[in-house]
Structure 1
Amino acid sequence: MAALRPMKSLPHSTYGHGDTLRVATYNIHKGVRGVGPRKRLEIHNLGLGIEALDADLVFLQEVRSFHHREARRFERTSFGWPKEGQADFLAPDGYEVAYRTNAVTRHGEHGNALLSRWPLGDIGHHDVSDHRFEQRGLLHVPVTWNGLLVHAIVAHLGLMHASRVRQVERLAAFIEAHVPAGEAMVVAGDFNDWGEKLDAPMRDCGLERAESGGRLNTFPSRVPVFSLDRIYTRGLRCVASTVPRGTVWARMSDHLPLVADFVAA
């Protein structure tokens, strides 16, 4: 794989990196691509990609702690299936890791993760599953950034619009119960919002969608036409945002990462 250069700055950002909170969200597709005999392991390339994002907070979806069948398929070697969970494997040196399972399957499980340059508080998990065919959850972790408490919530919403609406309602109830009014917050992840209908209910939660220069499409990764991956915030202002593009990024997952820089509002 071609080398990935660290993203030291984003377009149109005039702020120093120390003054900004860089947030990235990425659905990593459980670290594999393809089907059948053409299935390939991408978790090692994803590690390089996440490091290149140079983000303070990385919100990850479809992350596996274990999967017995895939571990047998790719073997536990230096270039095979990692011995540790994917969240710990992907975390750059010095980052703290939070992970919770959303879904349990026949051979393993998967869930949401947060990788952070900054100190993490207590890790919380809230089940927002809407029906038995889709297990979904919210990962909530307070982060201390430059002396400011920021509530990070990693989300991965359902495939049906009605389910997503109900999950946003549950998100709103969770925020009211667990996030004090006036404290900064970032909610990021894969919203599966094909019809661009969730911005209004998210605003009702007090959250604004992070945008700088228009909508940024992230899916499918080879020819992105949908903006499924989102970052919503409260108490922070977006000063730049981008989606890395190119063959290298397109092969690692069916989604592209979304990256944005914020300053305190």
Structure 2
Amino acid sequence: MQAEQLRCATWNIHRAKGSDGNVDPARVVEAIDHSLTPLGLHVLALQEADGECRPHASVVNVQEIATRTGLEYIHDCALRWGTESDGFLGTILFLSPSLERTKTDLIDLPGHCHRGAVSVEATFNTREVRIMSTHLSLSQPLRIIQMRTIGQYLRRRPPMQTILLGDLNEWRPWSGLMLNRRLIGTALRGPARRTFPSRWPLLPLDRILTNAPGKVQQLRTVTSTKVALASDHLPLEATVTVP
């Protein structure tokens, strides 16, 4: 049987503060429409897409993003930090209608700075797949603990191919202990590409990873004047096989 392919993208939009220091939410929406919509995405994950402090208020027009991309904004009241938020601690997922959602969860991650992950289990053309997005800590020890927490969550859930995408804040392409199979219980793998800072990318902070039997293919940073100006990160996109 031929493998299905999911087109995935992740972007830390830096609360709409661009590389020029200006805060312009409309510019983020325009950049998504210009540089990501044409990719025909099945999955779009945004980080730093809510306010940094309580009540983590909304930053961008999520309904406009959904309209322009053709993706579904999945965060009903149970999947948001609060009534003024659009996502969970800045993490927002948009999914293709072809992904039939069967289970959604929010995962609190430990640390001095509140972090979290969003997990969605879905059926894609009869295949089961789990999509997780997160934004991990700047501290390496905390990233290890946070990935251990994600691994414990996966241990309690039915086994299925998992796709993890987001700003992992890990500058080393080999990722160190945080992605060790013994730590998280599964081998999440994928190549690294430089995404930060957007004008002169040096560090591969953003990642798209998956475990067996899938594979991350055609990974690339999305480069355009619009995205480089709209945030201090570049978007990352890839095709993930779902055998």
Query: Per the shorter chain, which TM-score range?
Result: 0.7 to 0.9
SS across alignment from 2:223: coil
Is the CA contact (8 Å cut-off) linking 1:46 and 1:90 kept in structure 2? no
Report how many aligned residue pairs link the two structures.
Answer: 228
How far apart, CA to CA, are the structure 2 residues paired with 1:101 and 1:35?
A: 30
How far apart, CA to CA, are the structure 2 residues paired with 1:21 and 1:112?
A: 20
Counterpart for residue 24 of structure 1: 9
Moved more, 234-243 or 95-104: 95-104
Q: Which has the higher contact order (CA 8 A, sep 6+)?
A: 2
Residue 241 (structure 1) shift: 1.3
- AA aligned to 1:208 is L
- AA aligned to 2:111 is D
Q: Aligned match of 1:257 in 202, 214, 235?
A: 235
SS across alignment from 1:123: strand
1:111 has 2:87 as partner: no
1:125 has 2:106 as partner: yes
Structure-to-structure mapping, 1:72-151, within 5 angstroms:
86-91=61-66, 92=68, 94-99=70-75, 100-101=79-80, 110-117=89-96, 118-131=99-112, 134-151=113-130
How far apart, CA to CA, are the structure 2 residues paired with 1:192 and 1:101?
A: 23
How far apart, CA to CA, are the structure 2 residues paired with 1:176 and 1:163?
A: 20
Q: Aligned match of 1:210 in 167, 190, 193?
A: 190
Is the CA contact (8 Å cut-off) linking 1:26 and 1:258 kept in structure 2? yes
CA deviation profile, 1:113-146 (whole Å, cap 9, x unmatched): 1111122233210100312xx1100101112211
Label 1:88 to 1:34 Cα distance change in 2 as closer, same or farther (>3 A).
same
Q: Percent identity?
A: 25
Structure-to-structure mapping, 1:44-83, within 5 angstroms:
44-48=29-33, 49-64=35-50
Residue 197 (structure 1) shift: 5.7
How far apart, CA to CA, are the structure 2 residues paired with 1:257 and 1:34?
A: 14
Is the CA contact (8 Å cut-off) linking 1:64 and 1:86 kept in structure 2? no
Is the CA contact (8 Å cut-off) linking 2:129 and 2:163 kept in structure 1? yes
> What TM-score do you get using the length of structure 1 for normalisation?
0.74
1:233 has 2:210 as partner: yes
Label 1:43 to 1:89 Cα distance change in 2 as closer, same or farther (>3 A).
same
Label 1:185 to 1:59 Cα distance change in 2 as closer, same or farther (>3 A).
same
Q: Aligned match of 2:171 in 182, 186, 194?
A: 194
SS across alignment from 1:120: strand
> What TM-score do you get using the length of structure 2 for normalisation?
0.80
How far apart, CA to CA, are the structure 1 residues paired with 2:141 and 2:177?
A: 15
How far apart, CA to CA, are the structure 2 residues paired with 1:103 and 1:210?
A: 33
SS across alignment from 1:43: helix
Is the CA contact (8 Å cut-off) linking 1:241 and 1:258 kept in structure 2? yes
**Higher-Rg member (1/2):** 1
Is the CA contact (8 Å cut-off) linking 1:96 and 1:119 kept in structure 2? no
Is the CA contact (8 Å cut-off) linking 2:19 and 2:198 kept in structure 1? no
CA deviation profile, 1:49-93 (whole Å, cap 9, x unmatched): 33133211112111238999xx9xxxxxxxxx98xx643331245
